[in-house]
Amino acid sequence: MRAMIFDLDGVLVDTAHFHYQAWKRLAREWFDMDLTPEDNERFKGVNREACMHMLCEMADVNLERARFEQGMALKNAWYVNLVNGMTPADVLPGARAFVERQKQAGVLCAIGSASKNCSLVLERTGLQGLFDAVSDGTVVTRAKPDPEVFVTAARMLQVLPARCVVFEDAQAGIEAARAGGMRCCAIGQPHNLQGYDWIFPSLQAAGSFFDDLRST
């Protein structure tokens, strides 16, 4: 294990519920539809445009391009408004310490996130500068489960995929890691996720396991 690649939303920071809130509001205001937490599992890890497509499919509507883009822009404005209120206290418990410990042990650490708001979130939560590379929605075009975002992170770090471990809270992200030839540690609950190598409820809970793994 030479490198670790971290998804951002839902792994390092508590933004998954902000995305959910913003999509839920759009679903209600535009389509009079109630988005449930189960629906939201499918939105996790998936880029903005692909989420908008899923929402339109669920509502069974076919929007013209300008209206489609307006929907994405509105959702993003609500989301950014919530992100602007974030502070370092919104970093998930133990996440920062986890990354710092890996780096001290010589493991390279990168971000692999679908989000175009990645640098804003890193800046608000004081995490900017902590990572050796950032691969996000501004540098890749294909949505998870395509492995592009993780393969790009590995390339930035100059580490072979087989020597990377990905940390992910989304099913699409787990599939992306596997498709990229990487091992994956899921962060979440086993009833929502499948196809991972390990699973822990949080990075904090994964800490001692990876400390042991590194030293073997």
Choose the binding region for ligand BG6 from 40-48, 149-157, 187-195, 204-212 (rule: CB under 6 A).
Answer: 40-48
Binding site partner of 180, from ligand BG6, Mg ion, none, Cβ cut-off 5-8 A by kind = none
Binding site partner of 117, from Mg ion, ligand BG6, none, Cβ cut-off 5-8 A by kind = ligand BG6
- Token pair listed for 70: 């307006």
d(CA 25, CA 132): 36
Instruction: Specify the residue, 2 or 40, whose C-beta has the smaller distance to ligand BG6.
Output: 40
Q: What DSSP element (H or E) covers 156?
A: helix 148-157
Among 52, 149, 170, 182, binds ligand BG6 (CB under 6 A): 170
The least distance separating ligand BG6 from the CB of residue 2, rounded to whole angstroms, comes to 24
Beta strands in 113-214 (DSSP E): 133-135, 164-168, 183-187, 198-200
- Write out the DSSP string of 4-26: EEE-SBTTTBS-HHHHHHHHHHH
Peptide bond into 145 cis (omega under 30): yes
Contacts with ligand BG6 by CB under 6 A: the residue count is 18
Please give the residues from 66 up to 85 whose contact with ligand BG6 meets the rule CB under 6 A: 76
Interface with ligand BG6 (CB under 6 A): 8-9, 19, 43-48, 51, 76, 113-117, 137, 170
